[in-house]
Structure 1
């Protein structure tokens, strides 16, 4: 496989397939496909305040 164009096409196809499979896996889990990476969608991890 010495054809650089063919290698580039195959590499792009592999990346596309990986993205598609990841999106399908996220959809199966019930998470949004474009989850924010700043932690805005995560629950608050601060300790509960003791107001008593």
Structure 2
């Protein structure tokens, strides 16, 4: 049901954003990806450091 004076677009096509808005969307997407990547790399580094230097709590000293 189309309302008079309502712009329509063909089915399956997206409305295009102006370049500024598209750039902002891209920047936000890249920012989120960078943040997730950094968090993943920090977690990997923590895991690797724990593998090299396991906690010695609860183990007797052999010193």
Using the size of structure 1 for normalisation, the TM-score is 0.53
Q: Are residue 21 (structure 1) and residue 41 (structure 2) matched?
A: yes
Q: How far has the Cα of 1:24 moved from its partner? A: 0.1
Q: How far has the Cα of 1:13 moved from its partner? A: 0.4
Q: How far has the Cα of 1:23 moved from its partner? A: 0.1
**1:3-51 Cα distance to aligned partner (Å, 9 max, x none):** 10000000000000000000000000117xxxxxxxxxxxxxxxxxxxx
Write out the 4+ residue segments of structure 1 that deviate beyond 2 Å after TM superposition. Answer: none
Q: Which has the higher contact order (CA 8 A, sep 6+)?
A: 1
CA RMSD of aligned residues (A): 2.0
Aligned position for 2:30: 10
Query: Structure 1: any 5+ residue segments left out of the alignment?
Result: 32-52
The structure number with the bigger radius of gyration is 2
